[in-house]
Chains A and B, each alone.
Chain A
Amino acid sequence: MRNVRAFAVLILLVGVALGYFVYSTQTGTSGWAFKLGLDLRGGSQLVYKANVSKIPSSDVNDSTDALRDVIERRVNLFGVVEPNVQIETVNIGVAGSEKHLLVELPGVTNIDDAITLIGQTPVLEFKTERPIEERDKILKQIEELKKKQKAGKDISQELSKLQDPYYVDTQLTGRYLSKATVEFSSQTGQPYVSLVFNDEGAKLFTEITKANIGKTVAVYLDAQPISTPVVQAEITGGKAQITGGFTPQEAKLLAGRMNSGALPVPIELIATNKIGATLGEGALDKGVRAALYGYILVALFLIAWYRLPGLIAALALLVYGVIVLSIFKLFGVTLTAAGIAGFILSLGMAVDANVLIFERIKEEKKKGKTPVAVLDEGFSRAWTSIRDSNISSLITAGILFWFGTSLIQGFALVWAIGILVSMFSALVVTKQFMKSVYLK
């Protein structure tokens, strides 16, 4: 029986190590800290419907990807840490599916500004270099703001006042553009976008190039520099080129957007959500407290009803808990309030298999079998009902994932992970613990 005990001790040690991992990575700025959903950390969420009805179905994914890139660029303007911009394919019953654009802005509670910013038509700007002293001053400001945001403060006010550290605006913008076309360099074969300004724009462009010979002039699209050529000489005639290492497709898309001034796919705001940071924090604290009390209640019940086996199951439940939490961390599962509820619930469900086994063992004992036989019989005979009942739960979790908005999917995922790990914890962890306690 040495081996059984050694294995049980090993499981315990792994459990302790995982527990330490879960705990220690939560303090400080570890990369393994839990990923929290917006409802727990505060922030804004915007959901847009992408109207792809006029796009041929073979191009839908390309154009929604392009849409995501554009929106991502605009969102980056906000300077948010870890913004999340993603395209979701949402099943709507039998009617097929539609594309949604999900924008999540942690820490931003000024939702109306965010909506305005994202809804803007693209802006083409030409900018010139900012003097070095000014640049350093702004860079320092940005550093301070980042620290503030990490500390969980609302910085949307200051962010809106922040200036671009590297470049200053000029008067020349896309307003003076008369057309944009794709051309190919005769030497390299590389595609570039050729811009033709109107008379007024041509005049401005001449002035800018004249004043900045030897320096860079930046071409900004949606507040993002896409090309920063060095001015070789004054340029008259009102023509400019943007060479940004594009693929022919990107160049075509860019030129098209500049001409139309619109997003690659029209979008419509269908839902918004804003959660204040304090509200989110409160929800997190309460979730942790509920998990603790939930565990204590379940453990007390197990010990009161089943005595020593119950104590073992309570210990195995702890191992179960740290395994699940470690999985959340390792796979970067985003925790939401519903997800935490799912985890607590799974604490109650995870011991189900234990209960089934203990009851079975009691029965086998009554039949007067030896302890060894009782244990093995108990575990193997309880297996079919454990398997079948867990499969039905997994079916439900799968459908929940399909049904779900992101909130529900969080719950479904946590639940499914819980079911799988609980089978392991009941059939391996509890069994080893029981054997090492009961067998002589």
Chain B
Amino acid sequence: MFVIKHKNIFIGIISLIMLVAIVLTFAWKPNLSIEFTGGSVVRGEFKDARPTTETINSYMASFITNNKIADFKIQPVGGKGIIVRTRDLTQEEHGSLIGLLSDGTNIFTESSFSTNGPSVGSELRSKAIISIALVLVLIIFFVAYAFRSASRVVSSWKFGLSVIFCLVHDIFVPTGIFVILSHYIIGYEIDTLFVTALLAILGYSVADTIVVFDRIRENLKFASSKEIFEDVVGKSLRETYVRSINTSLTTVLASLAIFFFGGEATKHFALMLAIGITVGTYSSILLASPLLVLISGKAQRKP
């Protein structure tokens, strides 16, 4: 199988992509939503044409200095709408903000408003990280357990290890892409839905890898003593990559439907899923199995 023969090249290129994504994620700090940082988001529409950002800022000048608001961001949305992001506002501050946005004739109507205190954010942040770590750990145990019958040839922990390496890749590459988006476009923020998407990608990508590994497990059972491990993996991959791609494609189609036709709230979420599932698919074909061969230590020997 082509992929297994050139396994070092594939592992090399994919690891490089992963490295770039990791560096990007940590170098360009992604924007976090108010769920993680605390703050307020006001969304609404003007009755007539939307004033320019400068005009709105001038309405707000005294409000910002009086209340010592350091970060105040205005994002235009749709024809007449804006989203205002700022630190968490008190009831009074919120009231005066809405009042100041209207200039008497061009009335501003608020359609949604959310506020999060700073304490919630730090809790949620640690919880998000714990959840991701927990998923990784549980999955490695599950894979090690499910593939214990294959351990006659290759330790089932090595199956688990390749899966985990893949999953780290599957987390960082979509995150890297998201960080690039959030660097250039306002409104792309890391929120709880983003974390949900990451976890869903993990679950899904493992499912994809398992399809290939399941076939390796089965082929090992029937393999003659002459076949070397590398060939068994190659054969399994050849037999399964079509279904691997097809299962992902249906899910990507569904997420694209959410992205293009669904509501505002789930747009970024759907995009993340579409990217993540695509990434998870190529990694389960081009990374997981080559890696398994590499770390099996049985590249050239008989099983």
Chain A interface residues (CB < 8 Å from chain B)? 39, 47, 49, 90-95, 111-112, 115-116, 268-276, 278-279, 282-284, 286-287, 289-291, 293-294, 297-298, 301-302, 305, 337-338, 340-341, 344-345, 347-349, 351-352, 355-356, 359, 363, 381, 384-385, 388-393, 395-397, 399-400, 402-405, 407-408, 411-412, 415
Contacts and interface: CB of A to CB of B under 8 A. Distances in A.
B32 interface: no
Given A403-B199, A407-B192, A395 B138 contact: yes
B265 A297 contact: no
A395 B111 contact: no
A129 B33 CA distance: 52
B105 interface: no
Contact of B258 (A39, A344, A393): A344
B115 A279 contact: no
Which of B117, B196, B206, B269: most chain A CB closer than 10 A?
Answer: B196
A274 B124 CA distance: 20
Contacts of A49: 119
Contacts of A94: 126, 130
Interface residues of B, number: 72
Contacts of B126: 92-95
Nearest to A40: B263
B242 interface: yes
Given A293-B261, A345-B251, A349-B204, A399 B138 contact: yes
A388 B257 contact: no
B146 interface: yes
A418 to B, nearest CB: 11
A294 B253 contact: yes
Given A305-B246, A403-B128, 6 more contacts: A271-B115, A276-B110, A297-B253, A297-B254, A338-B196, A352-B207
Contacts of B192: 404-405, 407-408
Given A348-B252, A395-B138, A403 B114 contact: no
B255 interface: yes
A320 to B, nearest CB: 13
Which of A93, A286, A345, A407: most chain B CB closer than 10 A?
Answer: A345
A350 B139 CA distance: 21
Contacts of B202: 396
B262 A111 contact: no
A363 B254 contact: no
Interface stretch (B14-22, B168-176, B182-190, B209-217): B209-217
Contacts of A297: 253-254, 256-257
Nearest to B98: A112
Contact of A392 (B142, B250, B255, B273): B142
A385 B214 contact: yes
